[in-house]
Amino acid sequence: MAALATTKRFQRLAVFTLVAVTLTYLFHGGLLPAAPAWHFTSFRPSTYDWTQRPQAHPIPESDILPLPTEPPRTLPRIQHRFSAEELTEAHNSTQRHRQDAVRFAAKRAWGAYQKYAWGHDELRPKTLTAVDTFGGWGATLVDSLDTLWIMGMKKEFAQAAKFAERIDWESTTAGELSLFETNIRFLGGLLAAYDLSGEEGLLKKALELGNMLYAAFDTPNHLPANSFKIRKAKEGLLVADRRESSAAVGTLSLEFTRLSQLTGDSKFFSVTDRIKRDFERTQDETKLPGLWPVFLDLQNGFLTPGSSFTLGASADSAYEYLSKMHELLGGVDPAYEKMHVKAMETAKKHLLFSPKFRESEAAANILFSGNVNANGAGIIELEAEVQHLGCFTGGMFALGGKLFNRPEDVEIGEKLARGCGWAYAAMHTGVMPEVSDMIACDGPDRLKPCKFEKDEKKPKGDDLPGPFAYLRDNQYLLRPEAIESIFILYRITGKKDLLEVAWNMFVSIEQATRTDFANSAISNVDVGGETGKINSMESFWLAETLKYFYLIFSDPDLISLDEYVFNTEAHPLRLPKPPRGDV
């Protein structure tokens, strides 16, 4: 018996050693987060198992592409190497005060959500009622998990994580979901919260959701149906759309790939890699080669007949994910760099512009991104429409510029980021509008500052500041894109004046949107008095806007750009750990 017991102990020790070595490899390789210092077990499986659903159009095993097995390559360093003096400046009492102010705003908003809308998707901040807009699974709760963790609100995180681990994806207030929104908010939120905390139940819940969303690819041509009708998905009756936004189809890869990395199941990576190959195949065949039209025909095999092009709404994150996928895969797939570089070169040539200023105004060295209509036969018309959504482009250009050693793109990224910062300061409220028209410089030097001719007048009058011609949409919806780019540019360049830009933005937003218990979207940024609260606080207020404000005033090593890549909902996903160069 003693010999048998010794043998069993030896076997248990061998198994334990094997598991320990395996986990050490995974943690060291950056595929799993470090083990948490605490654990709670509250995971409860959903009542419907999507892995048991018969597939109507199964993808053959031979067509499932495995995750790349090459070791990650050495990637250039992204973050500025802050000196001891710069770190002291970044950590002084002023920055700590600002960080505390942002955290206080987050605690107010979270407390109101927790009291009046717990478990629902959003809080209506004026009436203090709940509303379900994304399936009724608690979008604000799941979207905010990593914000709570990053801001040190660990008690609130634990409460929210326990709720998230017990979500039943079968219990929903909606019969139809957006694949895009569910992916970036729920799947991205769960994966980031797991990457930060190591709480296993969050990964299990993410895998359940991933298996559900995987059903969107059970279509005749295996391209995804963004209109995820739950009953039809169960029956294998989904079809891809003839008019689908490029953002909807191009903004799945980060989350699906990270899920494959964490679970070892390559099917998630494989279906989005096929989309990558379609983007790659069609990039030079559109009416504006290098860019894809806003809408694609997925039902008939990824056709690109459209004539409208933008980096803004309905296209934005399809471009954002090109450089970020290069990072997440450790630089082993050259397609992402090629597509990113082509797209940015075309955007610089056709979409970006410098705005006009009067002689009496400071002609700031700033840029904006507009829209283009192209007929494929040489007629390319710029529409100088500026969207708040498009303010992410500064961060995108700068990140790609560092990653692919393109210093000119870092400079362009800074001009774009500062352009949106300027647009904030130009309004009476200090907050940028949702959509506006500007007067653009023209000709071959469109990216250089220019001025109005002596007697030149704006088409719709001079009542708006600087190059603004018309405010097409006066609202501010608590959006994050402008502070996102300011944050990324600060982390990349170390220029401390960006901290002042960020603080002025935050103070203006707080003054314009604050309610008794939280913050609300507003109807008019161009007024000196009442801004008109809309009674809306989307989940990205906590998930993105306040997170970026908090991080810019924090220790630069908190969620380093060399260790994490942010999805389009600002959820930090842990990168593999190749050595970083000094570029």
Residues annotated within the binding site for Ca(2+) are 568
What are the strands, taking DSSP E only, across 342-384?
A: 352-353, 356-357, 368-369, 371-374, 380-383
What are the strands, taking DSSP E only, across 379-506?
A: 380-383, 385-387, 435-438, 450-451, 468-473
Annotated catalytic residue within 434, 526, 544, 569: 434
Annotated catalytic residue within 143, 208, 481, 484: 481
| Residue 131: DSSP 8-state | E
**CA angle, 174 as apex, 170 and 180 as ends, to 5°?**
90
Residue 216 to residue 229: CA distance in whole angstroms: 9
Closest CA to 421 of 411, 432, 406: 432
> Is 316 a known active-site residue?
yes
Q: In this structure, are strands 450-451 and 356-357 parallel, antiparallel, or unpaired?
A: parallel
User: Is residue 245 within 8 Å of residue 229, measured between CB atoms?
Assistant: no
Residue 51 to residue 65: CA distance in whole angstroms: 19
Residue written as token pair 């969107």? 216
Q: At what angle do helices 188-197 and 200-214 cross, to 10 degrees?
A: 160
Binding residues: 568
Residue 221 to residue 281: CA distance in whole angstroms: 16
Closest CA to 526 of 508, 540, 514, 542: 508
Annotated catalytic residue within 181, 241, 385, 538: 181
- Joined together, the tokens standing for residue 38 give 């605490």
Annotated catalytic residue within 122, 316, 327, 562: 316
Q: In this structure, are strands 371-374 and 308-310 parallel, antiparallel, or unpaired?
A: antiparallel
User: Is residue 212 within 8 Å of residue 50, measured between CB atoms?
Assistant: yes
Burial label, 565 (beta-carbon count in 10 A; 0-12, 13-18, 19+)? buried
Percent of residues in the chain assigned helix, strand, coil, to nearest 5: 45, 10, 40
Burial label, 61 (beta-carbon count in 10 A; 0-12, 13-18, 19+)? exposed
> Is 453 a known active-site residue?
no
- Alpha-helix residue ranges (DSSP H) falling in 427-566: 481-493, 497-513, 540, 546-552
- Joined together, the tokens standing for residue 220 give 């005749």
Residue 133 to residue 71: CA distance in whole angstroms: 41
**CA angle, 372 as apex, 370 and 375 as ends, to 5°?**
180
Residue 252 to residue 394: CA distance in whole angstroms: 22
> Is 181 a known active-site residue?
yes
User: Is residue 566 within 8 Å of residue 572, measured between CB atoms?
Assistant: yes
The number of beta carbons lying within 10 Å of the beta carbon of residue 569 is 25
- Joined together, the tokens standing for residue 374 give 């192209």
> Is 235 a known active-site residue?
no
Which residues make beta-bridge pairs with 519? 514
The number of beta carbons lying within 10 Å of the beta carbon of residue 508 is 20
Residue 317 to residue 314: CA distance in whole angstroms: 8
Which residues make beta-bridge pairs with 229? 176
- Joined together, the tokens standing for residue 14 give 């061998």
Task: Please identify every residue annotated as catalytic.
Answer: 181, 316, 434, 481
